[in-house]
Structure 1
């Protein structure tokens, strides 16, 4: 395994979260946009007009499955079906529903229509929804409870003054337009950065973004999901260098395992109950199984914690499912 250098920036939470977290409360994530999540309180940041969120970590029922369990035990499930490339010619993000068993959501990269695709068993696209906003450069998708989050954060040319995160309630039928949306606009303290990986914590209080890190160590940033409509500047709270660019990330349904995807590798991190996502990313990952893909782009952890799915961005993409053997 190639060397991985990880650094936790000391000024953690310049625009992020504190590590004042408790492990006792276990509740379901919020499902509406009205008001702030119950676990979120804002504390004025001296010298800034922004607010610093302080969250209490609230996990769904833990699976007990660790990153090491997956790294050692998963196996590729055969056969490996092909994704419908007429609808998904350039798959950029995938995530599993937390409310519909077996449902995987996917979207395309820039240059395509702003649509969300529902994928059932195998590779069949069984539902399509139009998302009521522009697709500038969607790079990843995340989920918390029944809310989906699109990362419109791609910026290969470093020309976008701001990028954004888009939230939508999970669709409950087929053929509809998703137009009840919420937006967060932001930029990075270092300037314009290309970002292809996003996770949202299980309580819906904050998003964590990882820059691509093509020419320098990847940066980790925390975006508070408050009701503010003002654009914010995010400070780097951690960074790591894995020798490859980062193309996707995902958080397990119980919040305790983090997956980071590169074009050729899958890295898994354990997240202690007392740690934020950013703090957990400063830990030591293990490398899990991956399949040869033309351009490894997307990853989604399975809701039961027993595996993950990877997809390539290129045409003729294969759906690769990795699972722990059934006992």
Structure 2
């Protein structure tokens, strides 16, 4: 092909892909607004699901926990049916558990809820991933202090196994990193130079580290996992009170709600282009569009 015609063709292809992707995205969102939940957590004991983690070791399995006012119990449920298949009772004092995270075989429980912002200390509990079945476990307890009390409902653990917390406030939220946790004495959380959106109710890192998500009452925010810059904001499924989010794979999350018989919705995420492609004009956009089209056609 003539080089001049090739140079003229590439922008045209990009524009065509953009139009097709926009149509596919619009169609996908229209379908998403009417989508049915994957399942419902029908166990009558699960009434205020405030944390969600998807197992990598057991197929079709997720964990949840109620927040304050309930026994300290982690429930294992089938994602496809919502059926409870395991109950793990935590032999520990828990004030207000608000989030779960899984990393490298360890299940983390964030005892970080503080609606009145009065707690001097919050805590993370850690236990081996339970799997199906019933048991009682004494978790490791890590006490944490903040620079000022805050309500926290979001816990996410990065690829290196370092927990992060995100505050739930009406204005801009704060992000904390927890290094060198110890069961012997409290650890001061390091506040990062990152601004989170208002009213964050849960968060998670993708299993391959390619992205992160923050859940708010207004939407699902997809972030670059390294810079924490927002790459996309998606509308919420029809939930009464969106409180939980967890990755099933790098391109999909489950989003859940508080309440009895609470639903779990599967939400497709846009791909986040690797930063290495950003230096090549047009290439990153092309990769994103192709990934988005591929996802819409699944």
Shorter-chain TM-score: which interval? 0.7 to 0.9
* RCO comparison, higher one (Cα < 8 Å, 6+): 1
Structure ID, larger Rg: 2
User: What TM-score, normalized by structure 2, do the two folds share?
Assistant: 0.75
Counterpart mapping for 1:1-327 below 5 A: 76=32, 78-120=36-78, 121-179=80-138, 181-189=139-147, 191-204=148-161, 206-214=162-170, 216-227=171-182, 229-240=184-195, 242=197, 244-271=198-225, 275=226, 280-281=227-228, 283-302=229-248, 304-323=249-268, 324-325=295-296, 327=298
- Residue correspondences, number: 244
1:176-233 Cα offsets, whole Å, 9 max, x none, are: 1122x222111111x21111111111232x111111122x320011001444521122
1:119-156 Cα offsets, whole Å, 9 max, x none, are: 11221111111111123100100111110100000011
Cα pair distance change 1:85/1:146, threshold 3 Å: same
SS at match of 2:108: strand
User: Aligned-residue CA RMSD in angstroms?
Assistant: 2.3
| Structure in which a larger fraction of residues adopt helix | 2
SS at match of 1:175: strand
In 2, the alpha carbon distance for the partners of 1:147 and 1:194 equals 24
Per-residue deviation, 1:85? 4.8
In 1, the alpha carbon distance for the partners of 2:258 and 2:120 equals 26
Cα pair distance change 1:174/1:299, threshold 3 Å: same
Q: Structure 1 stretches of 5 or more lacking a match?
A: 1-67
User: What TM-score, normalized by structure 1, do the two folds share?
Assistant: 0.69
